[in-house]
Every structure is written in C-alpha cells, then in structure tokens.
Chain A
Amino acid sequence: GAVVSQHPSWVICKSGTSVKIECRSLDFQATTMFWYRQFPKQSLMLMATSNEGSKATYEQGVEKDKFLINHASLTLSTLTVTSAHPEDSSFYICSARDLGLAGAYEQYFGPGTRLTVT
C-alpha cells in the first residue's frame, strides 16, 4: 500500500530557531502534497497545498514567509517553520495523493511530526 513517511517524528527546539520537516512518498509519486496542523483536541487544519515544481498555495491566515514549503521532486516536500515560537507547537501532518490513480481523491497521511517550541 501507499506509504508516506515524515522526518523527524518529534522535535523540541528553542524559540527563534527554524525547523525543517520532510515528507516523502515511499512507493508512489505525488505531484500534490498537503500540509496540515493539528492542535490538541482540535481537527486537522489544512495549511497549504504543495505542488511539485511550483509555489505552494497557502490557506487563509497561514503566513507563507513563516511556513516555507518546497516540493522539489515527486516524492519529497519539506515544510520549514522559521523563527519558531511556542504558539507554533503543534502536530504537523503531511499527506500525498497518488499520481498514478487518475481521479483519486484518497490521500495517504504521514505519521506526523510533533513540534514543541520552548
């Protein structure tokens, strides 16, 4: 089955530093990957849609200069949280859609990255 990995699975960093999170589709190609954020006891909120070879599309209220997204290949997208602050502490999850499944709506989720900013 389709597998999506994320690295790191958890990270603790000091306020003001930047953190990079990687999302990889391991056994399929994905032109589109999605980045979500989930705060405790809340739902997943879409942050941005990452398209291979082009700029990401950010949801309203998400600062593109703070959450830098790069989708350099069909199997890798990265999210960099720049100058992280305690309020950025959250569970970040990526998902990917299989390019090979025409018309497919299903997304495959990575295991998530738990970020704690102290």
Chain B
Amino acid sequence: RKEVEQDPGPFNVPEGATVAFNCTYSNSASQSFFWYRQDCRKEPKLLMSVYSSGNEDGRFTAQLNRASQYISLLIRDSKLSDSATYLCVVNKGAPARQLTFGSGTQLTVLP
C-alpha cells in the first residue's frame, strides 16, 4: 500500500465549477499535511497547509480527518489558471521531517 494515495484523475471541469480532491495516508504518526500544486515540467509549490480544524484560503478549503487518515481539498469557482496537478503531501515528523508525496491529481479547467 502506498504511503499517500490520491485519485490520479484526470478531472476535467468547466470554469466556475467546484471540485474536490481526496487523499489518504497510511502512517498514523504523520505530523503535518500539505497540498502542493505542480505545473507541467515545474517544481511543486506549496498551496496550503492542512489543519485538523480545517482551513480556508480564498477559493481553497482544506480538511484533515486524523481518525480516518483522510485529507481533502475543495476548489470553488475554479479558474482556468487552476489547471495543474495537485499533490497531497505528508510529513513523517522528527527527526528528518521528510515529505512523502502522493502521485498527484490532475485538474484541467475548461473554458
């Protein structure tokens, strides 16, 4: 079983749509959680951290359920510029604090 699992997609949605991505992780000792965005042939960039209480940044909402080891990302009113691959990322904690990446979910927002 992969440490971080995501639905690979692709998700093709019209502009303005709401889209949700899900992610599960296997290591219950994981310390922190993130969503990264990766554009084609570019490095990943941090989109947002994910907290147990849930957090929102503009059109993006992230949720964490530690009991279920489940992370989600909701994008509202999607824009063409949201087209990218979204990576669910989990941190293993001390001492190395290594990041483990999911395989990514590809999103294409259509005009």
* A-B interface pairs (CB < 8 A), number: 44
* Chain A residues whose CB sits within 8 angstroms of the CB of B46 once the complex forms: 106
Interface centre among B43, B87, B104 (most CB of A within 10 A): B43
A57 interface residue (CB < 8 Å to B) = yes
With contacts A111-B42, A112-B43 known, is A34 near B101, CB below 8 A? no
With contacts A32-B96, A57-B96, A105-B91 known, is A42 near B103, CB below 8 A? yes
Choose from B41, B87, B102, B103 the contact partner of A91 (Cβ within 8 Å).
B41
Residue pair A44, B97 in contact (C-beta under 8 Å): no
Query: Smallest distance from the beta carbon of B35 to chain A beta carbons, Å?
Result: 12
A93 interface residue (CB < 8 Å to B) = yes
Majority secondary structure, A binding face: strand
* Chain B residues whose CB sits within 8 angstroms of the CB of A34 once the complex forms: 98-99
Residue pair B43, A111 in contact (C-beta under 8 Å): yes
Interface size range on A against B: 20 to 34
B32 interface residue (CB < 8 Å to A) = yes
Residue pair B101, A105 in contact (C-beta under 8 Å): no
Chain A positions 23-44 with a Cβ under 8 Å from a chain B Cβ: 32, 34, 36, 42-44
Alpha-carbon gap, A36 to B100, bound state (A): 10
* Chain A residues whose CB sits within 8 angstroms of the CB of B101 once the complex forms: 36, 43-45
Chain B positions 83-109 with a Cβ under 8 Å from a chain A Cβ: 87, 91, 96-104
Query: Smallest distance from the beta carbon of B4 to chain A beta carbons, Å?
Result: 8
B45 interface residue (CB < 8 Å to A) = yes
Query: Smallest distance from the beta carbon of A30 to chain B beta carbons, Å?
Result: 12
Alpha-carbon gap, A34 to B91, bound state (A): 13
* Chain A residues whose CB sits within 8 angstroms of the CB of B54 once the complex forms: none
Interface centre among A46, A105, A106, A111 (most CB of B within 10 A): A105
Q: Top 10 closest A-B pairs, CB basis?
A: A43-B103, A109-B43, A44-B101, A43-B101, A105-B32, A105-B91, A112-B43, A111-B43, A93-B43, A105-B97
A contact residues vs B (CB 8 Å cutoff): 32, 34, 36, 42-46, 49, 57, 91, 93, 95, 97, 105-107, 109-112, 114
